[in-house]
Amino acid sequence: MVRPSLSCFVAMPFGLTLGDVGDSATHEAVLTAVLHEAERDHPAGTVVPLPFRWDRDDLRARQLRKEAL
């Protein structure tokens, strides 16, 4: 089993890990949070959940909840 030394979990859709296209404020906030975690001591294999969430109710999310055709 491969255990990365550290990873940060950001609850954003695949391909939009730093936030929406053109949202430079969120991009910078995510990168800053990840860099702050990299400065801290963590045991090997640690996954740090970051407080960023995708709050848009998009078609994919509704499809996953079986609410959209």
Listed in order, strand segments (DSSP E) in the chain are: 6-11, 46-53
- pLDDT for the residue 35: 96
Q: What is the pLDDT of residue 52?
A: 93
Structure-block tokens of residue 58: 């998009």
pTM over 0.85: no
**At residue 10, does pLDDT exceed 70?**
yes
pLDDT tens digits for range 18-69: 988 899 999 999 999 999 999 999 998 899 999 998 877 676 666 677 765 5
> Which residue did the predictor score with more confidence, 13 or 9?
9
* Alpha-carbon span 47 to 29, nearest angstrom: 18
